[in-house]
Amino acid sequence: MKSESPLRQVRQLHQRYQREFWPAMAAYVAIMLLLWPLLPQVHNALLKLIMALLPVMPVLLVVRAMVRLVLGSDELEQRIHLIGLAVAATAVSTLSLAGGFLAAAGIIRLDGTILIWVWPTLVVMYAVGRGWASRRYGGASDVMCDSGLALHWQLLFAALVIAAVAGLGRHQLSDYQFGMLCGVSGALGLGALLRAIQHWRKRQRGEHEAS
> Structural domain boundaries of the chain?
1-72, 74-143, 149-211
| Closest among 56, 84, 86, 57 to 69, alpha carbons compared | 84
For the cut 80, the answer to whether the pLDDT of residue 45 exceeds it is yes
Q: Per-residue pLDDT tens for 166-202?
A: 787 777 666 766 777 787 788 878 878 887 887 788 7
pLDDT band at 1 (very low <50, low <70, confident <90, very high): very low
> Over the stretch 122-163, which tens digit does the pLDDT of each residue have?
887 888 888 788 878 765 555 454 455 666 777 788 788 778
pTM of this structure:
0.67
Reported for 74-82, long-range contacts at CB under 8 A and 24+ positions apart, including other chains, are 74/6, 74/10, 76/137, 76/140, 77/10, 77/140, 77/141, 79/133, 79/137, 80/130, 80/133, 80/134, 80/137, 80/140, 80/141, 81/130
Q: What average pLDDT does the chain have?
A: 79
Helices (H) and strands (E) in the chain, counts: 8, 0
Residue 56 has pLDDT above 50, yes or no: yes
Question: Which has more pLDDT, 5 or 186?
Answer: 186
pLDDT at 74: 83
Distance CA 29, CA 33 (A): 6
| Percent of the chain clearing pLDDT 90 (strictly above) | 9
**What Cα–Cα distance (Å) separates residue 202 from each residue in 47, 93, 133, 142, 207?**
51, 34, 18, 11, 9
Q: Would you tell me how many other CB atoms lie within 10 Å of the CB of residue 121?
A: 16
Beta strands in the chain (DSSP E): none
